[in-house]
Amino acid sequence: MSLAHNIFNTSLGRKYLMALTGAGLFGFVVMHMLGNLTIFAGPAAINEYAAKLHSLGPLLWVARIGLLVMAAIHIWAAVKLSSENKKARQVRYEGAVEPVDVHRKNQIVSRYASRTMIYSGLIIAAFAFYHLAHFTWKVPQINGVVADFEEFYVHEEDAGENQVAFETPLPEGKGEEGKNAVDVYRMVKTGFGVWWVSVFYVVAVGLLCVHLSHGLSAMFQSLGFKTKSTEKLINRFACTASWLLFIGYVSVPLAVLFGFVK
């Protein structure tokens, strides 16, 4: 019974993996949201933030691969656990009602969320893929506008009053990957200007927060830190964090749609 066996091949080991990778992904989601919020500080701020991220070079790739591995493990473990769960109980009761949650009804444990983790998770994964295609790989066919985000770079002539003021001068030439800074501001504005893209985004973020409202508390459960004394605190944290994230994320497309981002 080696360490790897105990972690990868047992149910509780995989739960640990879920919890740890979940915690990592949660960290990413928080950072991402904070980054998004810089849009309210104006185009310069967000574009500068983006440029700084891009200038990290190899470190960025380490982070990207790390995230990818975490997501992969998280999804692998989830799918594996979930298929085991399906196998473990193949027959549903005809006696209609689900077990009544008699003495836990006063607690915050979101039963709906807990029962739908795999579905919310898979939808979020699908959305994340779309989101990457939309803004990172910039596939023009899916953004719902005529524009190609590949062309959204910050040009010297753009560095006007409302535009970016870089400390270091921009490289020469017209927008080119790796040379020009990406005009995230314009991309976001254009991207979320499409109503259905925003709706999809809001729904997905909503699901993410439902997922987290249970996941953040279950994480402590899986790692064995949730006890009677810490339970309330953990549940409150899960609930508050989920709501804050929801508000933070949703504020961007809403601001775009309702014209607060000019």
Structure tokens at 23: 């915690």
Residue type, 180: N
Phi/psi at 139 (5° precision): -70, 115
Residues 1-30 that bind another protein (CB under 8 A): 1-3, 6-7, 10-16
CB of 240 to another protein, least distance (A): 19
**Partners of 153 in the beta sheet?**
182
Positions 223 through 252 that interact with another protein (CB under 8 A): 223-228
222 vs 233: CA distance, rounded Å:
16
CA–CA distances in Å: residue 195 to residues 129, 189, 217, 256: 19, 11, 33, 10
- Residue 91 token pair: 């027959």
Minimum distance from CB of 6 to another protein (Å)? 5
Q: For residue 41, give the H/E element and its range.
A: none
Site string for another protein, 98-117 (x = CB under 8 A): xxxxxxx----x-x--xx-x
The footprint of another protein on residues 177-216 (CB under 8 A) is 214
- The correct pick among 75, 133, 200, 221 for binding another protein (CB under 8 A) is 221
Among residue numbers 32 through 91, which ones bind another protein (CB under 8 A)? Answer: 81, 84-85, 87-91
Q: Please give the size of the binding site for another protein, defined by CB under 8 A.
A: 49
Q: Least separation, in Å, of the C-beta of 76 and another protein? A: 14
Calculated CA dihedral for residues 47, 51, 53, 58, nearest 10 degrees: 160
Phi, psi of 182 (to 5 degrees): -75, 140
Residues that bind another protein (CB under 8 A): 1-3, 6-7, 10-16, 81, 84-85, 87-104, 109, 111, 114-115, 117, 214, 217-218, 221-228
